[in-house]
Amino acid sequence: MTRKIQKKSPMEKFTLKKFQEIFPDDASCLDYLRKEWFPEVIKCDNCGRDAKFYRITTKKVFGCEFCGFQISPAAGTIFDHSSTPLTIWFYVIYLMAQTRGGISAKQIQRETGVTYKTAWRMCKQVREMLSEDFPKFSGTVELDESYFGGEEKNKHESKRIAHNQGRSTKTKTAVFGTVERGGKLEVHAVPNVQSKTILPIVDANITKGAQIYTDEFKAYDALPAMGYKHGIVPHAEKIYVIGDAHTNTIEGFWSQSKNGIRGVYHAVSAKYLQHYLNEYAFRYNHRDDVTPMFLTFLSRVRPSVSKV
């Protein structure tokens, strides 16, 4: 029987000891998925009766009490058709959730004993499920663009460009961020930060009439005509706060995520950068949750009732 998980206050951590007590084996992990996402009684797709489904111990499935029709709580999830034990999957999610700056696939390999290729794939699949959609932002919103990528001075000489392009997509990946003060944050890896690229993101994600603060980047000059209140912070003049006008919230996120990538992963390719940004944004958006971060990560695993 799966033990009841008590949700903790932000001051209490979901410790490794607690993790090991609740998820000692694959059966407990599978029972968690079954009890967390499905009602006790399910209408059977085969016999059409409202039935309880009982665990078939020889497989990772549950069978209808009347006709034996089988469902798998892992179907349609990142665990589906994986030969890696559920206990390792859950532990990988636990490790990723417990750190602020992220954890490398190499460290996952050392902690779990799986191959590096398997560790990398598992981390990638966990990051993919952390992507979130939110209602339109409103109230006070900060916008900012940034660039992620290695410094020219740190690259091999053969890979350096002739002149340091600084904030350029020739050597780095452009990222556009939106944060509602006291609310949620979204970040998008984009091909560039031209008006035609970032303004449609603003239009699709921010309620008209919202107060938006930005730096003096020219692409933002169209915001008033789009129906937004626009405040500018002249960073070029070394001014970073004017009353309520600042972009410190989003810039703090840039600092945290860049430091994490630099310190843990060293470098991230443009192809997979969005996945890493999803991970950092997810932690930011759930930083004040009462539920432990591990269970919040785990809540993104959403099984679908499926015939085996």
- Structure token pair of residue 183: 């609310």
Helix (H, G, I), strand (E, B) or coil at 6: coil
For the chain, give the percent of residues with pLDDT over 90: 77
Alpha-carbon span 187 to 193, nearest angstrom: 13
For 175, residues 6+ apart whose C-beta sits below 8 A from its C-beta are 145, 146, 147, 148, 187, 188, 189, 190, 273, 277
Do 62 and 300 touch, CB atoms closer than 8 A?
A: no
Sheet with 41-43: list strands edge to edge: 41-43, 50-56, 61-64, 70-71
Q: In which band, very low, low, confident or very high, does the pLDDT at 84 lie, cut at 50, 70 and 90?
A: very high
Residue 4 has pLDDT above 90, yes or no: no
Do 296 and 289 touch, CB atoms closer than 8 A?
A: yes
Do 115 and 83 touch, CB atoms closer than 8 A?
A: no
Do 176 and 190 touch, CB atoms closer than 8 A?
A: yes
- Structure token pair of residue 275: 């996945």
For 75, residues 6+ apart whose C-beta sits below 8 A from its C-beta are 303, 304, 305, 306, 308
CATH number of 140-270: 3.30.420
- Show the CA angle centred on residue 171, arms to residues 201 and 216, nearest 5°: 45
Q: What is the pTM of this model?
A: 0.85
pLDDT value of residue 36: 86
For 149-194, what is each residue's pLDDT tens digit?
A: 865 444 444 444 443 444 566 789 999 999 999 999 999 999 999 9
Alpha-carbon span 80 to 111, nearest angstrom: 22
Q: Give the start-to-end residue ranges of the domains of the chain.
A: 140-270
Of 31, 140, 41, 134, the C-alpha closest to 86 is 31
For 241-254, what is each residue's pLDDT tens digit?
A: 999 999 999 999 99
